[in-house]
Structure 1
Amino acid sequence: MRIFLFYILSFMLAPVFGQETSQFRGPLRDGAYPEKGLLKKWPATGPQLELQIAGIGKGYSQPIVYKDVIYVTGIKKDTMDVISAYDLKGNLLWDKVYGHAWANSFPDTRSTPTIQNDKIYLIGGMGTVCCLDAKNGDMLWSQDAHNQFKGEYHKWGVAESVLLTDQAAVYVTGGEVTSVVAYDKITGKLLWKTKSLGGPRAYASSSLIERNGLKIILAQTAYDLIAINSINGEILWNYNLKPLQTGDMGKGANTNTPIYRDGEIFVTSGYDHPATMFSLSEDGHSVSLKWKNETMDTHHGGFVLVDGNLYGTNWQSNSKGQWVSIDWKTGKTNWVKDWFNKGSVIEADGLLYCYEEKGGNIALVQPDVSEFKIISTFKVEVGEGAYWAHPAIYDGKLYLRHGNMLLIYNIKA
């Protein structure tokens, strides 16, 4: 009887596991990881370092774990982007070239793999969109999307990670031919392209939201926040962000994936651009500006929503920033705190993981509306370059990248 029940349950759960998706900043791309039973405090020297993998390639992309395999992208071979697969003991299973790296300043790989149904979706540094077999790295399809649609780069090229919908792999081109395109996830054939709203691409990865049954892609170019019908590519609305970007630097450098909750969309980027909250209409076909906040201009480290409050950083310069919390409903600033420098943040099991980008300091933080309440800290001492890769948490392990090095810590309670 137990064996019979096991097979019945396996059959019932197969479609669920078949749709398992591992992607940038967690299941909803909002920095929240569904892990439970994690340490509430770390030892003075930090959690136990379980594994260290060197030689993953130069890059700022986030590591991904899918079906007990670690996937990470980096520049390993001259100017080529490479994806590498490792087992949980750090043994290299395979590595494959998937595109040309960005050819100008900060060429290190930035696109994080999106993995679903044993297929890996990637964007090369020069705008190639491709799909590989997760088991062996074989190329299943590839499209030179940037050249095909005469895309337009922003200053630092491509940092986007592929967004998946029910049918499509979605990519922001920018330019005068189209703004966003969608390829069939299985065949790589073009499903649709939007009209062009003009202007270069941005750096932010898109997200998929749902409003009263309508599935909407939220994408960004250098000029606009765009809502797109995920089925046919119809632009439902666009909001021109340029008039809000009054600072002297970084115009059009839209960097962060928006967070959506209950009909409201939050988005911000660095360079003294204000944080903005938008209210989405019931039918999803229009949007209005609800509030602005001048404090939380997160550069590119993301932000998280916990118990009605946002946590992230601000931008004071490209090399300086503070940690910030604001109220989701009102936009009121809760606090601003100096702690080394700005960086990236994720959330799991009710706590924040803050990874500072200049010195590699990482803090376990209790979300609190009155203060930046640090519980424990330690420092990443190996690797080189900026600490720009976002942290990730899988199966009770904290994954931290620093350039060519991947560190994996056991944070199970």
Structure 2
Amino acid sequence: EPIWQHRENVRFWESNSGPGPRATPTLSGGRVYAFGATGILNVLDAANGSVIWSRNAATDTETKTPIWGFAGSPLVVDDLVIVAPAGSLIAYDLATGEPRWSNPAGGDCYSSPQLMTISGVRQIVLQNVSGTVSVSLPDGIKLWQHDWPGNPIVQPMYIADGDILLSVDDRSGIRLITVAPASGGWTHIERWTSDRVKPYFNDSVIHQDHIYGFDGPSLACVNVKNGERQWKGGRYGRGQLMLLADQDVILAVSDKGDLALVKAVAEQFTEIARFPAITGKTWNHPVLAGDILLVRNGQEMAAFRLSLTGV
């Protein structure tokens, strides 16, 4: 049963994805940080939904609503909450909602700002239409930028030792770069680019030195060291996946609401099980809370209890 609801007097709609917000809210310190598709950032009391403070990030950064709406989730770090309206970055004071810094990184994007620590330096990394940009956490000053034009939706993935996995659209594939401090700045070197995995808005995962992600409607496994594909299989449309690392299993949700278990091993593609979980267009990411798996779309949500004894 609903505990509370919050509504705005504005409404976003476009024909491909329908009405409503695009970004997943962020929960932190008893608050809900919600970034709406029209650019309104609300900070709500998690207990009762009352508004603590609210800002229009689109107005604050002088950006226009992109075609699919503002879609990046808020990032809460220390005493800041950071959002990315249309590829720009702005940080607000957690307590007051006053702007602390902004950076017009530029260009539309549908991914979220992400905290990374590279060579001991905490920084905010964001993908936009020009490429990938990193800014200093305390003041928003740009540290480095790797140019690779596209229309990014998925998140950059930090691996280790300055290695970052990037994807900018569903045509260009994936790229591994290495970022490191240098005299007077930072270096960013392309290690490899592969079109053997081409995610659109689907996350990839890394397990035992291999990348598992979507190549169009199918799943694929790629060697993280050289970008060579090990296998490709299954049909899941524009679905989502998550990794159950302790069981060497990928949990995939198809865009029609099917739930599938796939072995996270490099030798070959093996689908262990598959069944219809919910119905309708399902683009939402599954969530695992303890042993409860939540699967949802714009029409319904279902909860499944997973076995803790293995697959």
SS at match of 1:148: helix
Partner Cα distance (1:102, 1:215) in 2: 34
Q: CA deviation at 1:340?
A: 4.2
Residue in 2 aligned with 1:218? 125
Confirm whether residue 198 of structure 1 aligns to residue 106 of structure 2: yes
Q: Deviations over 1:198-223 (max 9, x none)?
A: 32x21112211112321111112222
| 1:72-221 alignment, distance < 5 Å | 91-98=1-8, 100-105=10-15, 106=17, 107-174=19-86, 179-194=88-103, 196-199=104-107, 201-221=108-128
- Flag the 1:303–1:410 CA change in 2: closer, same or farther, 3 A: same
Residue in 2 aligned with 1:391? 286
SS at match of 2:13: coil
More strand by share: 2
SS at match of 1:217: strand
- Flag the 1:174–1:94 CA change in 2: closer, same or farther, 3 A: closer
SS at match of 1:346: strand
Which of 151, 156, 165 matches 1:266?
165
- Matched residue type, 2:95: I
Give ranges in structure 2 of 5+ residues lacking alignment.
none
Partner Cα distance (1:233, 1:99) in 2: 31
Partner Cα distance (2:10, 2:209) in 1: 42
Confirm whether residue 354 of structure 1 aligns to residue 252 of structure 2: yes
Residue in 2 aligned with 1:86? none
Q: CA deviation at 1:302?
A: 0.8
Give ranges in structure 1 of 5+ residues lacking alignment.
1-90, 243-251, 316-320
Moved over 4 A (4+): none
Confirm whether residue 232 of structure 1 aligns to residue 232 of structure 2: no
- Matched residue type, 2:177: F
Residue in 1 aligned with 2:272? 375
- Matched residue type, 1:198: G
How many residues align? The count is: 301
SS at match of 1:323: strand
Q: CA deviation at 1:301?
A: 1.5
Q: Which has the higher contact order (CA 8 A, sep 6+)?
A: 1
- Flag the 1:158–1:174 CA change in 2: closer, same or farther, 3 A: closer
SS at match of 2:96: coil
Q: CA deviation at 1:98?
A: 4.8
- Of all paired residues, the percent bearing the same amino acid is 24
Partner Cα distance (2:9, 2:136) in 1: 29
Q: CA deviation at 1:239?
A: 1.6
Partner Cα distance (1:152, 1:254) in 2: 17
Cα RMSD, aligned residues only: 1.8
Q: Deviations over 1:8-48 (max 9, x none)?
A: xxxxxxxxxxxxxxxxxxxxxxxxxxxxxxxxxxxxxxxxx
SS at match of 2:23: coil
Q: Is the 8 A contact 1:323 1:342 kept in 2?
A: no
Q: Deviations over 1:124-169 (max 9, x none)?
A: 1101112111111111111111022211343212221111211211
- Matched residue type, 1:266: L
Give the TM-score normalised by structure 2.
Answer: 0.91
Partner Cα distance (1:404, 1:381) in 2: 9
Which of 326, 347, 351 matches 2:222?
326
150-159 or 94-103: which moved more?
94-103
SS at match of 1:339: coil
- Flag the 1:308–1:101 CA change in 2: closer, same or farther, 3 A: farther
| 1:20-59 alignment, distance < 5 Å | none
